[in-house]
A and B are shown apart, each in its own frame.
Chain A
Amino acid sequence: MIRKRWWTFAAWACLACPVCPAPAAGTVEESIDAVRVAGSVDGGFQAAAESAGHLRRSLTGDDLPKLLDAMRDVDPVAENWLRGIITDVARKAEGLPTESLADYAMDRSNNPIGRGMAMELVRTETPEQATKLIDQCLDDPSLPLREMAVEQAIDKARSAAAGDKSSAIAIYQAALTNARQPKQLQTIVEALNKLGESVSLGGAFAMITDWQAVGPFDNVDGVGFAAVYPPEQQFASSAVVDLAAKPEGKHGVVSWKEVKGSDDDGKVDLAKAFDKEKGAVAYLYTEFDSPSEQAVQVRLSCITANKVWINGREVMANEVYHSGSAIDQYTADAKLRAGTNTILLKICQNEQTESWAQEWEFQFRLTDPNGKALTSE
């Protein structure tokens, strides 16, 4: 009895003692698994927090590839958990295995996010080596590595532009072909234009500029976002619209008409098309030919409320007015079928009177899942 109490007390004292590391929370593999599902199970954050402590205490620099491998197919939140733990382990390590990390980063069979993280570690330890390796990643399937390579290419082209203009243009052109990140694309297009090259933003992004539009429909007091007007009703049920139809609009009968996006940036100006109408809804229709069935990303820039349907299926709805805008501001996954695909947009304008709240416009494009612009074929 006493012996039992003795050991109970000793065990309790040991557990409560903060000097020794806490007992292992299962195996390293179990801890990694707990971190990988941090946000997707009940109590997952607490379990992940305990596992993060376990991994930090248990792993050394040589174990980093295990954590890099764990970044495969996890959501962005779990990615950041792993990123934080990797940084903790790397900080506590006495010298990082930069050669094996570099090998990991350059091996295209490894997971793309882990490879990017490995290169970040190499760059911290041996920046010159990293620069040389990153130069080889301009067409890399790992988007983080490709982004680093494009960043380096832009820097190189900027340096070259002062002395050797043609060399700068060549570097920019190569970067333009491979860039996927919208801000980087924008930077390259602007730089090429400054060097006298004729490259349009709309062309580089493959913005879709040919549309049929109908409106305005009523959106006074914001009623139009939820309202289902005839073009939407027809498209949601049959994936087509009748371009000859003349539905009842806000001020009477309305007809479909052609509207075209800017040659420069692909922006479609609805304020111009609909005489600066406020409290209004417009529908836009186009078709997109795909050579095969494929997964795509729908990418929309729009400073007002909007909805998007592809082949009759709603893929996006955002009820936000005049709160900033950027290229590819809204993205959603969708599927195209082989042949002709139909696209319907609903773009709303509210009744704000401030000078900064008068824009009623959008830019729209389709990309592959990695951001490569697609054009109708």
Chain B
Amino acid sequence: MAFEDYEPIIGLEVHCELKTATKLFCGCPTTFGNEANTQVCPVCLGLPGTLPVMNGKAVEFAVKIGHALNCTIASYSKGMAQVSDPKAIEDAVDKVLAENPAVVADYKGGKQGVIGFLVGKVMQASQGKANPKMVNEMIKKKLDS
């Protein structure tokens, strides 16, 4: 295959340190350069019996960047349980395929690489909970037939 036959699909995963005054789960400062072991407490040391308390500012920042990047903000966390129920995945896949006919046509026309886009759409719709491997296989099953 020639170079022109390849279509680059580039994803960016960006890690960004949030500029909070204190740590994520306790009130210890996050300043750099101080002496070792001066900015720790039983909570961030994970000592037995301690409990984390969420840093509100970090949540604020996360919501802000969510808005800036046009994401959907979940109003509450339903937990990180992964959805692997085949019926639920099939329903989600059917919906995404119906909503993206152009991309489906691209895939069927030979651009197999766009499956990534479709998987992404299903992940987004399920708020990250769908089992990605099952989603990929389900889409292939539906479109290759």
Is A bound to B? no
B interface list, Cβ under 8 A from A: none
